[in-house]
Amino acid sequence: MNRQELNNFIEKEKEKLAEKGSKAQIRVCCGAGCLSSGAEELMNSLKEEIKAGNIDAEIIPTGCMGPCNQGPLVKFDPGNTIYQKLETGDVAPLLNSHLLEKTPVTEKLLFADSRENPSLNADEDPYFKKQLRIALKDCGHLDPEKIEDYLLLNGYQALDKALFAMAPEDVISEIKQSRLRGRGGAGYPTGLKWESVYRYVNDQKYVICNGDEGDPGAFMDRSLLEGNPHRILEGMALAAYAIGASKGFAYIRGEYPLAIKRFETAIKQARKLGLLGKNILGSEFHFDVEVRIGAGAFVCGEETALIASIEGKKGNPRPRPPYPAEAGLWGKPTLINNVETYAAIAPIINNGGEWYSEIGTAKSAGTKVFALAGKINNAGLIEVPMGTTLREVVYDIGGGIQGGGKFKAAQTGGPSGGCIPEEHLDVKMDYESLVNLGSIMGSGGLIVMDESSDMVDVARYFMEFCMDESCGKCVPCRVGTKMMHDLLQKICQDNATRIDLERLEELAEYVKETSLCGLGSSAPNPLLSTLRHFREEYENRVRETSPKHNVVD
């Protein structure tokens, strides 16, 4: 399909939509969270009821709406009314009341169990009001398995704009102007990365989407891939156009079968409409994408390990330089970005880099998706401008601590990150501020802990994770993480002495400074940050000297 044919196709879809008029739309959240709380049975029973009652309504399965804890969720449009925790028995009365009698069922509204006056329009609830959804914008609204839905919401318009009105250099300068930084964790400026791949001259370059979301407690990439796969695909195509690549790979975790299925569907649909393949939209640009399924190795989130894995090898990282921009997949210049980074590309091209750069803080522009979990009332997926304080995230959006407990710490950045204690609740969430506190932004997992959490055990938990996930190539990571884990275990079992604690601190510094890749050099972070903010918990559990051993130092 060329440009004109696609426009005609979209016009036809618009006409179809207009014909439907003000027909009620019932959106059923089919994110992984809601599916496991019974969204599928709910949708079937909605379909049956509508058929039986001859109700004029359309049922649309969507991606994640956000408040996963309240699932399964159903949204009624027009009106943007979300109902929560629905069971199949609720369906008939709900349809009857909301659609026929036009009276909402107050006790089933979103957050009806925690707020006095739950909002009829979900966007007015503090949970959504404080958020700014750019990456997640259409997630939870469109049917992720229909390319038509995405096209009707201005989908692939950014690609069209880039192909016919912008040179690759213009796309790169727009991204640079947006000040977008990599959302995978390290926060490297995306525009600069693109530019460096662009500069290497080679007849074959590659674009890779890193969907190997390995951090425990993070599910942003999963929700984006499941909720709006075409947005990621468009972002990849734009990146390929900018750097001059003709082939892309989406590396998705094997643990996410639904994301893999939906992304593969999206690729097929895009190929059919000529949005992938040869001469895209009639232009000179060729690009195609393949899915690669991860096989359960956290280290494959590291870019050189991910490349090795796509090449069919073990995910062993290799020393950099050379960086993938110079010699990546099969030795060719390769661009690797995270899923969430690609999700921000199309809006930036559509609205301009300046628009995006005005959101957020001076050094961290734009918005960030966080996955709220742990001892928090409104666990789920949120997107806020950079620079929003942790307090706003935990209390205003997250609804505070579960069971009315006391906030103790928030863990960000997973096994590479750290814990933020209560006295820093007013920290602005951006790359630099979190690093200053000894944590990192990471991919966006945010786990809230209350007074019942043992911080030494938290450090041990993450060290165990790193120990198991270490690839075993370099000595500091292979043996160092094992030693640190054993020492932490010793402290947890109240068998440690002060000398053990000193050794632990020495090893932490050593592993951080000498490891080959990011997994090893960030593995001591949870330990170092808990030592920094909760040192007394360690001190209280070590004996001054060991009565049994005569320790040499």
Partner 1 sequence: MMNAAFLKMINVIVEEFSHSYLVPSFLTLFMKSSVAGDWVTQHAKDPRVKLVAAKMKKENYRPDALIEILHTAQNAFGHLPLPILHFIGKGLKLPGSRVYSTVTFYHFFSLKSKGEHTCLVCTGTACYVKGAQAILNELEDKLGLKIGEVTKDNKLGVQAARCIGACGLAPAVVLDDEVHGKVLPADVLAMIHEKTNAHEQAGTE
Partner 2 sequence: MNIIEININGNAIKADAGQTILEVCRQNDIEILTMCHMDGISDVGACRLCLVQIEGSNKLMPACTTKVMPNMAITTTNERIKKYQKITTELLHAERNHTCAVCVANGHCELQDMTAKLEITHIRYPHLFPDCDMDTSHPWYIMDHNRCIMCTRCVRVCKEVEGAHNWDVMGRGHEVRIISDYHTPWGESETCTSCGKCLHACPVGAIWPKAISQGQLVKNPGMINDLVEKRKMNL
Binding positions for partner 1, rule: CB under 8 A:
32-33, 35-37, 67-69, 71, 213-219, 222, 254-257, 292-298, 309-315, 371-375, 379-381, 411, 414, 445, 447, 449, 453, 461-462, 465, 469, 471
Which helix (H) or strand (E) is 25 found in, with range?
strand 24-29
**Residue 98 to residue 254: CA distance in whole angstroms:** 40
294 contact, one of partner 1, partner 2, none, CB 5-8 Å limit per kind: partner 1
User: What radius of gyration do the chain's Cα atoms show?
Assistant: 25
Q: How far is the CB of 210 from partner 1 (least distance, A)?
A: 15
> Which member of 11, 113, 494, 513 binds partner 2 (CB under 8 A)?
513
Orientation angle between helical segments 257-272 and 220-227, nearest 10 degrees: 40
Other beta carbons within 10 Å of 405: 15
CA 426 to chain centre: 23
Q: How far is the CB of 260 from partner 1 (least distance, A)?
A: 10
Kindly state whether residue 297 participates in binding partner 2, applying the rule CB under 8 A: yes
503 contact, one of partner 2, partner 1, none, CB 5-8 Å limit per kind: partner 2
* DSSP state for residue 154 in the 8-state scheme: T
Kindly state whether residue 147 participates in binding partner 2, applying the rule CB under 8 A: no
510 contact, one of partner 1, partner 2, none, CB 5-8 Å limit per kind: partner 2
Nearest one of 111, 94, 110 to 57, comparing CA atoms: 94
Q: Which residues have C-beta within 8 Å of that of residue 165, sequence separation ≥ 6?
A: none
Which helix (H) or strand (E) is 208 found in, with range?
strand 206-211
Kindly state whether residue 476 participates in binding partner 2, applying the rule CB under 8 A: yes
Helix (H, G, I), strand (E, B) or coil at 267: helix
Kindly state whether residue 486 participates in binding partner 2, applying the rule CB under 8 A: yes
State which amino acid sits at residue 244: G
**Residue 307 to residue 304: CA distance in whole angstroms:** 5
Binding window for partner 2 (CB under 8 A); candidates: 65-73, 318-326, 336-344, 386-394: 318-326
Kindly state whether residue 472 participates in binding partner 2, applying the rule CB under 8 A: yes
Q: How far is the CB of 542 from partner 2 (least distance, A)?
A: 16
166 contact, one of partner 1, partner 2, none, CB 5-8 Å limit per kind: none
If the CB atoms of residues 24 and 299 are measured against partner 2, the closer one turns out to be 299
Kindly state whether residue 109 participates in binding partner 2, applying the rule CB under 8 A: no
Q: Is-contact 59 37, C-beta < 8 A?
A: no
Q: How far is the CB of 33 from partner 2 (least distance, A)?
A: 30
78 contact, one of partner 2, partner 1, none, CB 5-8 Å limit per kind: none
Kindly state whether residue 503 participates in binding partner 2, applying the rule CB under 8 A: yes
Kindly state whether residue 527 participates in binding partner 2, applying the rule CB under 8 A: no
229 contact, one of partner 1, partner 2, none, CB 5-8 Å limit per kind: none
> Which member of 168, 479, 489, 505 binds partner 2 (CB under 8 A)?
479
> Which member of 48, 167, 475, 494 binds partner 2 (CB under 8 A)?
475
If the CB atoms of residues 321 and 404 are measured against partner 2, the closer one turns out to be 321
Pairing mode, if any, of strands 74-77 and 57-62?
unpaired
Q: How far is the CB of 110 from partner 1 (least distance, A)?
A: 14
> Which member of 130, 137, 482, 541 binds partner 2 (CB under 8 A)?
482
Q: Which residues have C-beta within 8 Å of that of residue 40, sequence separation ≥ 6?
A: 30
35 contact, one of partner 1, partner 2, none, CB 5-8 Å limit per kind: partner 1
Kindly state whether residue 516 participates in binding partner 2, applying the rule CB under 8 A: yes
If the CB atoms of residues 174 and 215 are measured against partner 1, the closer one turns out to be 215
Kindly state whether residue 498 participates in binding partner 2, applying the rule CB under 8 A: no
Kindly state whether residue 146 participates in binding partner 2, applying the rule CB under 8 A: no
Place of tokens 């989407």: 209
DSSP β-bridge partners for residue 26: 59, 76
Q: Is-contact 343 250, C-beta < 8 A?
A: no
Kindly state whether residue 214 participates in binding partner 2, applying the rule CB under 8 A: no
Q: Alpha carbon of 269 to those of 59, 146, 186, 240: distances in Å?
A: 21, 8, 33, 19
Pairing mode, if any, of strands 247-252 and 206-211?
parallel
Kindly state whether residue 21 participates in binding partner 2, applying the rule CB under 8 A: no
296 contact, one of partner 1, partner 2, none, CB 5-8 Å limit per kind: partner 1
506 contact, one of partner 1, partner 2, none, CB 5-8 Å limit per kind: partner 2
92 contact, one of partner 2, partner 1, none, CB 5-8 Å limit per kind: none
Binding window for partner 2 (CB under 8 A); candidates: 169-177, 387-395, 511-519, 538-546: 511-519
Q: Alpha carbon of 443 to those of 26, 85, 360, 534: distances in Å?
A: 32, 28, 17, 24
**Residue 241 to residue 248: CA distance in whole angstroms:** 11
**Residue 284 to residue 373: CA distance in whole angstroms:** 46
**Residue 146 to residue 524: CA distance in whole angstroms:** 44
Kindly state whether residue 468 participates in binding partner 2, applying the rule CB under 8 A: yes
If the CB atoms of residues 190 and 411 are measured against partner 1, the closer one turns out to be 411
If the CB atoms of residues 97 and 489 are measured against partner 2, the closer one turns out to be 489
Contacts 24+ apart (CB under 8 A), 119-126: 120/79, 120/81, 121/79, 121/80, 121/81, 122/75, 122/80, 122/81, 122/82, 123/80, 126/396, 126/397
Q: Is-contact 283 164, C-beta < 8 A?
A: yes
Q: Which residues bind partner 2 (CB under 8 A)?
A: 297, 299, 314, 318-319, 321, 467-476, 478-483, 486, 503, 506-507, 510, 513-516, 521, 552-553
